[in-house]
Structure 1
């Protein structure tokens, strides 16, 4: 019996919410200025999103924030902190990283296929992944920079050639 009453109450509240949304959509559609209409729709969507997020933690209710027209308020709606950070996580991580480092060559070995294995003075070991000739000497200063799709390029300032490398250690 309680379940039936609860279901009936939820349906009644959701029907009222739908009527409120339809009324607000009609108000937005009646606006003649394109920008005002767009801002009205954006405000409606934001109010529904905020209400939905708030109601996910509790029982469903149909309280909607009133839609404000741009004529009443000329300010752009303020996004929540979650919305401000959305899609920017990777960019913020990239802001705290270096795109290019300079290293001194300590030793060079060559594998049977001719790819260089370079040990640097700081202990890092990098290996050439391209099978083209790249001349390098012990004691030479090289740079390693980020390239596309997470790869790295190694080169020297004295010449224009670069070779693709990957870090082993």
Structure 2
């Protein structure tokens, strides 16, 4: 206990006025006593200028510009990575999501494992994820809808079955 108080006192007294904030933060983090560490952080926070913290928080509050794209072209593709500065700024309710789209089958093919690869009339390519059987015809009208946990389901209105698919192109 005596060593802790000695270390806390040394940390509080040895913080030079010209030391960088990173060094002072490292010194505060080295203090093992919770109360002394909190006091060290409070002293460091009160010694920093308020203008630098206000300008940093103001730059983080700027909302990103969302580019308008054709939603049919991007349906099913993975979303682009969010920048660190923009993380958490866009709320999910602000983004209009498409739940179901209808397409016409241009062509389809089966691989060696029996999985379908479907090319649609707008040149999108989707591949079956599971191993269920699903009959398709060229020119057939199908739909692709959102499933649980970011998956997509392919089906048709004339039957009550769907298969899981993922978009390749």
For normalisation by structure 1, the TM-score amounts to: 0.49
For normalisation by structure 2, the TM-score amounts to: 0.49
Q: Which has the larger radius of gyration?
A: 1
